Each structure stands twice: as structure tokens, then as C-alpha cells.
Structure 1
Amino acid sequence: MTVTASSAPADIAPYRWRWVALFVILAAEVMDLLDALVTAIAAPTIQQELGGSESLVQWLGASYTLAMAVGLITGGRLGDLFGKKRMFVIGAAGFTVASLLCGIATGPEMLIAARAVQGLFGAVMLPQGLGLIREMFPPREMGKAFGMFGPVMTISSVGGPVLAGWLVDADFFGTGWRMIFLINLPIGLAAVLAALRFLPEYRLSNATRLDLPGVALVSVAAFLLIFPLIQGREAGWPAWTFVSMAASAVMFALFGRYESRRARSGRDPLVTPSLFRKRAFVGGLVAGLAFFSGLTGFGVVFSFYTQAGLGFTPLQAGLTALPQALGGVAGFGLAMAGLQEKLGRGLMQIGALVMAAGAAVLALTIHVSGVDVSAWQLSPGLALVGVGMGLTMAPFFDIVLAGVEPHETGSASGTLTGVQQLGGAFGTAVLGTLFFDLLADGWEFGASMEVTVWVEVGLLVLTFALAYLLPRRARPEQQPHGA
């Protein structure tokens, strides 16, 4: 079944398999979310078995998020050009094959490369699912359909680290950490077969060509920034690392100039240049970069600290992180109970301060308890971090996109999601490098973790301040009288 944009509402809305198709899409989301979570828990074990330096721990997450950040900007347009069902199937199949390559990796280089391939195919797969939901469901059922993402993502975020720790410790069939990737094989195969059977085809009749030079420029710019941040420490920070970071700034500037020229010539740019003339959107990008850098970087470092520093098993490390995940569920619940509409931007700022308070409690707990700190002692600080995380993330995308014009929404959403992933790679590079630098200088694990947590507090305070650049409410009707 193939439809164009003009016929979609009439032909797709009564599609009888739409709820089955929704679960196919949700299975793909679960694969992506679990893969983003489980490697942080398994990273120390992977490093011990495959060898490699501490940079392997950072690259396991950064290679995936960096590839996805670049791919997401153009992934949705591939579906418009070639068909959303076709690209979903290609993305899911590629993601599954890449998972197999991760599971049979014989060395650090192969594993990092396979993780990057996972990220690229994930960036092809995920936007198609969200687009298909909008076409398959009539307006009266759209809320229910998107509402299914909440429970699925919550269960995955809570259970992912625990599942990873259990799979590594259980060592099924002697696979050890490899099972966290191999478990994707049955899920991915089922998703591909079900997509071929149940997903309808949909593509735009007036889709524009891809901006391949723009993709190349932004990819090179991002790589030139992340690579030296991760590898520079082990190389002793030679001159090429600083040259690379300076070249990254130049490449980002060239990317912006190229996109402006492309837009002026009437061709469709990768990122709409007018977005960067909107203070709220630019402020949202910078705030998102600060927030997601700290959030992701902290997760990678904390997992390594609990296992290499405190001697926890992978399962114990996963259970230790559980209060943060449960706190996130509680924070989302509070936001959805009416706080988001009532407080708007203020909820983001309250969430950032709660997260900062939780991180401060965590740092003080580590300082006071030293190497004898237990998972129970860490749980209050982690729970507060989780609650603040839920409060901050719930209104974030809605508020940042509030001032965007309708014709800019697609580009703005892709850019914002891409920056979220780029922030993850950047935070893994910066906080991971700081932590491992301190260890290399002879600092103890506890002291190194303390400093890293205080940097996370600083990033959260920066997020709080940058939120003042955003609109007070996501929609005009939410503005209080007289505003």
C-alpha cells in the first residue's frame, strides 16, 4: 500500500492493522533505547575482555550517539524520498546486522565501528516510525498512539541497566557481555518481518533531494571536535588535538555559510538558516547541549566508577542506578499531572535545580563515605537527580519548538534531536576525559568522581540560566492573563 501526501488522511486513517504496526515501531524504539543504556553498564567488562584503554569506554557510547546525531538530521527525509516503510525495514535490518557485528567483535576497533554503524541505521529507522504513526492514525487516536511511548520508554529506561547487568553476570552460553547485543537479533528480525507484513508504505510526492554536501560538512565538523577530546588525553594532548578542535569550529562555520547560500538559491537546506535567527531556538540548542552533555557523560563515568572503583558487579551497578530511573518516572509523572502546563519554562528550571541538588548530595555522600560507600547511601542523591531529569525533559522539546514557524518544524525537530545526541557524545568525551585524566594523575576513584559530579552541577546551573532565553510557555493559550 503506497500513498502520497495528498491522499494520506483518507487512505491511511482506516488502516486496520495500525495498532499492530504501532507495536512494530515500538519494538524498534526499544532496541535503540536499550542499546543506548546497556553499554554504559557493560563497558568495564568489555574493556577487560577486549583490551584497549579507557577511551574504549567513552567510544562505546560516543560512536553510537555521534553517528546517530549526524544521521538523524537527514534520516527523516530519506523516508520522504524513498518511502517510510522501505527505509524503516532497511534501518531495522541494518541495525540488527550491526548488533550481530558488535556481538562477534574481536577487538576494540571492530566494536567501535559496529557501534557507529548501529547509530547510522538507527537514525534511518527511528524517524520513519514517528512519521508513519502520524499517517496511520486519525486525530482522535493520535494521543493514544503517542501515549504508548511513555510506558515503553519508562520500562526500558528502568529495566535496561538491570537487564544489561544480569545478562553480563549470567554469561549465557559463555557469551558474557556479547549477549547485550545478540539479544537484538530476535527482536530485530521480528521487527523486519512484521514491518514487511503490517506497515503501510508512505512517501511524499514533492520531497526534495538530500543535502549531501551539508551532511558531509556537519559530519566532519562533529568528528573533528569529538575525536581529539577522547583521544587527546592518551596522546598527551599534542598540538594536533587543538588544531583539530579549531578546525571543527571552522567547519561548523563553513556548514552554516553553505546552508545559507543553499537556502538563498532556492534549494532545500539540511538545516533551515532562519532558525538561527530565533533567540529562543538557539538558546534551546545551547541549553540542550549543556543538559544532555552532563546527563550522558555522568552516566558513563558513574557506571565505570561503581564497577572499577567500588568493585560492584555489572548487575549490582545496574541496580545501583535504578533509583535514578525510578526518580525519572516520578518526575515525568509530576510534570504530566499538570505542572508542565502550569509552570512552563519554570518547570525546566525547577528540574535543573533539583538535579543539581541531587548531584551535590551525591558528591557529598561520596566525599563522606569514601571507598566504603554503599548503593543504599548513593540512592537518595540519584533519586533526586532522576526526579529533576524527568521535570526538565518533560517540557523541553515543546518549549524550545514553541517559537518555530510551521514550515520550519521538520528541520527544527531534526536539529534539536541531533543536538541531543551530539550532546551525549560531547558529554561522554568531556566528562570521561576529565575523570580518566584525574585517575592518571594519581587521584583516587572517589575524588575523581567527586570532581566530575561537581562539573555536572555546573552544567545544570548553566542549563538553568540558559532557560531564561526560552519562551515562558509552549503555546500562547498557556500564557497567564496580562503576560
Structure 2
Amino acid sequence: MTILTEPAVRTGRSSRLMWAILALVILADALDVIDATVTNIAAPTIAAELGGGVSLVKWLGPAYMLAMGVLLVVGGRLGDKFGQRRLFLIGMGGFTLASAVAGFSPDPTLLVIARVAQGAFGALLIPQGMAIMTKAFDREMLAKAFGLFGPILGLSSVAGPVLAGFIISADLFGLSWRPIFLLNIVLGVAGMILAVRILPRDDDGDRSTVVDGWGSGVLGIAMLGLLYGLIQGSTNGWGVISIASMVIGVLSFAAFAYRQRTATHPLITPSLLKNRGFTSGLLVCLVAVAAGTGLLFVLSLFLQEGLQVSPKNASLGLMPLTLGLVAAGFAAMGGLVAKLGRRLVFIGLVIDIVGCGWVLALVAHSGTTLSLWALAPAFFVIGVGISLSFATIPVVALGTAKPEEAGSASGSFSSIQQLASAIGSAAVTSIFFRATTPGLAHAMEITLIVVLALTALTLPLVTLMPRQAAED
């Protein structure tokens, strides 16, 4: 009897440990997704109460995404070099501390710095989860884990704006918007305690792993220069500082491209840049994600500033869009991408264009007298289109990548998506605010026209992507 029972007990304990690790990794990823989206709803309230005006509204999202995009690949390499457990704890601890600083920030400058720190520590945290599970899980458990990731992270993308709207409306303890960041302290501390207890030790990291710090640094300068110049120029006028910042950004990006061609261990495998399908997908991703992410932010601003709805009602008004995102994401990754390949990307972009055109027609007809109910069907269509395209672009672009290129290709797309989100949020929001003089309805119309044009420009590039998605 003892011989039969002990293995069963060990298996049970092992199974419980695997599920606990999975819950911890999902918690870390959910924190990232939620914090990337909470400011979509909260930005107007934060700017009104903390000061900073339009400039702060433009920086809140991009500051987080910029740091995340620049450091995401580096975070994965550091985990390989020093151990995933150690980097997970550093990332979770730093993210929690940065969230506390954000929640207690007395002025706009410190809040933006805290958002950058959140993104930087998030970039150290997020890549470790997949590596930990790959090492600790058997194939069956990995399949279960990946099956749960999509639905839960999809719900997290919905939870971010909704949570922000309800927290601001509830005005907990008279703290207004601050609890949307302070909540991370509780979750982060709980995550760190759990991580210390259950994550397997891996002090035998590969110290020979090379991290291209120079490449990451130059990329960071390039993106910061471009964003700072864009935001300051569009807000305060195109003076010497904003133009010089843009020039530094462009020159630094050229230096980054040169570094990738000459470095011994570049962030992006050089052979990938010679792959037409991959580079086409990268360009589609950059333009489409920038336009789509910027639009989502501006729609939230239009609902609150144009239609004069509360943060809570704005989050509920965007619910059809997020439901479209989640539903279409399940359909895409549930088998459609394998069957349709790049055609699904094309279909998604076209559906997105239809949804944007629908909203443009509604705004042109009714202006700021629109009801949330009138916008709901069009918002749902936009969500479906964005999800079908955004979720499948990386999978299709990797269709012709070699097995040894898969890691670099996947990491590159993760970084590009974050950087495109940062650029899009800043650029599209700038367009919206620059066009507000005749009225917010006019600003929304101009923004939609720009987004429609950018999305349409990606359609020819889709035909250059691989026909079929990557098999694994």
C-alpha cells in the first residue's frame, strides 16, 4: 500500500505546484496588461487633478510602453544569464515599488518617471514566466497553460479600463485615481511571497549569455528622442528643442540599425531582416498597431471630453470593443489563423477599416450628441478587426522563419508591438488635440481619417507576408 501511495502523493504535490506556478505567471502578465491599459480611461482625471494638461495625457501610456518595448528582449537575455527566478523577483519587486511611487506621486514629472520604471521592471518580469514554465512543466501541462493564457489575458485587457473607471467613480478613501496604481502593491507583495515559496531555484544561469546593452541603449535613446520631440512639439510648438530631439532620435535609430548589422550578438538576428515575409510583417505590425492603439486611447478621450460621460460610463461604453477583441482573439487562435494564414490578417484589417468608417459616419452625422448605444455596434466591429489582425500578424510573419530564428523573431515582435503602441498613443493623441480648435467632433473625424489611411496603407504589405502561419 505504501509503495502505491507515495508516488500518488508526490504527483499530487507536483501537480499543485505546477498550477501554483501557472497562477503566479498569469498574475504577473495580468498586471502588465492591466497597467498598460488603465490610463486609457484614467488619463483625463489624472491630468485634471495633478496638473500637466495635454502633455501629461500624452505621456502616461507611452512612458510605460516605451520602457517595456526597449527592454523586453534584454529582460529575457538577463534571465538566461542570471536565472529566471532571480529576475522574476527583481522585476516583481521593482514593479511593485514603481506602482507605489506612481500612486503617491505629487506631480506629473514623478508620475511619468514612475510609469517608465513600471515598464522597465515589467520588461524584466514578463519574459521569465514563459522560461520558468518551459523548464518546469511537462508537455501536457504546457498545453493547459497556453490554453488558459489567451482567455485570462483577454479578460485582463477588459479589466484594465473597467477597473480604472469604477475605481475613479468610487473615489475610494477620497483618493480618486490613485488606487488604480496602489492596488498593485497588494498584488505585487502577494506575488513576491508566492514566488519565493514556489519558484524553482535556478542559480546556474548561463553566464556566457551576451546581452547587447549598447544596442538597447541606442534604441532607448532613439525612441525617447522621437517621442519627446513628437509630444513636446505637438503640444508647445515646434521649437529648437523638439526638432533637435527628433533629429537625435532618427540618428540614434540609424545607429541602432547599424549596430544590429555589426554586433556579434544583436538583439535581432540579422538573417531575419533579409526575410521578406518577416520584415513585411514587422512593418504591418508597426503601422497597424500604432494606428489601432492610438485610436483606442483617443476614443476614450472623446467619450469623456466630447460626449461628457463619466470615467465609469466611458469604460462601459468601450466594453463592446473589448468584447470584440476577446471573442475574435479566441476565434483567431482557435484555428482560423492556421486555416487562413495571411488572409486572416487582411480580413481583420478590412473589418477594422469598416468599423472606423462606421464611427466616422456617426460622428460626422451627430457630432457630440451621440449616445453610447449608437456607437456600440461599430465599436464591436473595430474590436473584432483589431483582434483578428493584431493577434495573427506575428504568427503569420514567423511562417518562414527558421527554428533557430524563432526566439529572436518572437522577441522582436513583442518589442515592436510595445514600441508601436507607444508611438501610436503619442502620435494619434497629438493629432486629436491639434485638431480640437473647431470642436472635439471635428478632432475625432480627423483622427479617424488618419487612422483609416494608415490602416489602408498596410493592406499591400500583407500580400508580401508568408501565406501560412508558423506551425508551432
Instruction: Compute the TM-score of the two structures, normalised by the length of structure 2.
Output: 0.94
Q: How many residues align?
A: 459
Offset, 1:205: 3.2
Q: Find the partner of 1:451 among 432, 435, 446.
A: 446
Cα 1:62–1:331 change in 2 (3 A) is same
Contact 1:15/1:136 (<8 A) preserved:
no
Residue 448 of structure 1 aligns with an amino acid whose one-letter code is A
**How far apart, CA to CA, are the structure 2 residues paired with 1:139 and 1:476?**
16
Matched position secondary structure for 1:451:
helix
Offset, 1:53: 2.0
Q: Which residue is equivalent to 1:183?
A: 183
Contact 1:88/1:124 (<8 A) preserved:
yes
Q: Which residue is equivalent to 1:199?
A: 199
Q: Which residue is equivalent to 2:335?
A: 338
Residue 312 of structure 2 aligns with an amino acid whose one-letter code is L
**How far apart, CA to CA, are the structure 2 residues paired with 1:179 and 1:25?**
23
Offset, 1:204: 4.2
- Percent identity between matched residues is 41
Contact 1:61/1:428 (<8 A) preserved:
yes
Q: Find the partner of 1:306 among 300, 303, 306.
A: 303
Contact 1:58/1:300 (<8 A) preserved:
no
Q: Which residue is equivalent to 1:253?
A: 254
Matched position secondary structure for 1:234:
helix
Contact 2:151/2:326 (<8 A) preserved:
no
Unaligned runs of 5+ in 2: 1-12
Q: Which residue is equivalent to 2:3?
A: none
Residue 343 of structure 2 aligns with an amino acid whose one-letter code is G
Q: Find the partner of 1:402 among 399, 404, 411.
A: 399
List per-residue Cα deviations over 1:86-139 (Å, max 9, x = no partner). Answer: 100110111011010010000000100000000000000000001111111112
**How far apart, CA to CA, are the structure 2 residues paired with 1:443 and 1:472?**
45
Task: Show the 5 A alignment for 1:2-41.
Answer: 17-41=17-41
**How far apart, CA to CA, are the structure 2 residues paired with 1:226 and 1:306?**
25
Task: Show the 5 A alignment for 1:145-184.
Answer: 145-184=145-184
Residue 123 of structure 2 aligns with an amino acid whose one-letter code is A
Cα 1:476–1:304 change in 2 (3 A) is closer
List per-residue Cα deviations over 1:126-158 (Å, max 9, x = no partner). Answer: 000011111111122221111111121122122
Q: Which residue is equivalent to 2:234?
A: 233
The answer as to 2:123 corresponding to 1:123 is yes
Matched position secondary structure for 1:389:
helix
Matched position secondary structure for 1:177:
coil
Offset, 1:435: 0.8
Offset, 1:206: 6.0
Offset, 1:275: 1.7
Residue 258 of structure 1 aligns with an amino acid whose one-letter code is R
Contact 1:222/1:248 (<8 A) preserved:
yes
Q: Which residue is equivalent to 1:470?
A: 465
Cα 1:315–1:249 change in 2 (3 A) is same
The answer as to 2:289 corresponding to 1:292 is yes
Moved more, 365-374 or 40-49: 365-374
Q: Which residue is equivalent to 2:8?
A: none
Q: Find the partner of 2:371 among 353, 370, 374.
A: 374
Offset, 1:475: 4.1
Runs of 4 or more, structure 1, over 6 Å off, are none
Q: Which residue is equivalent to 1:108?
A: 108
Instruction: Compute the TM-score of the two structures, normalised by the length of structure 1.
Output: 0.92
Q: Which residue is equivalent to 1:215?
A: 216
Contact 2:102/2:115 (<8 A) preserved:
yes
Contact 1:340/1:394 (<8 A) preserved:
no
Matched position secondary structure for 1:331:
helix
Offset, 1:16: 5.8
**How far apart, CA to CA, are the structure 1 residues paired with 2:333 and 2:71?**
30
List per-residue Cα deviations over 1:22-80 (Å, max 9, x = no partner). Answer: 10111111111111111110100001001112011110001000011111021101111
Q: Which residue is equivalent to 2:93?
A: 93
**How far apart, CA to CA, are the structure 2 residues paired with 1:279 and 1:206?**
34
**How far apart, CA to CA, are the structure 2 residues paired with 1:15 and 1:269?**
38
Contact 1:256/1:273 (<8 A) preserved:
no
Cα 1:280–1:206 change in 2 (3 A) is farther
Q: Which residue is equivalent to 2:4?
A: none
Matched position secondary structure for 2:29:
helix
Unaligned runs of 5+ in 1: 1-12, 478-483
Cα 1:143–1:437 change in 2 (3 A) is same
Residue 349 of structure 2 aligns with an amino acid whose one-letter code is A
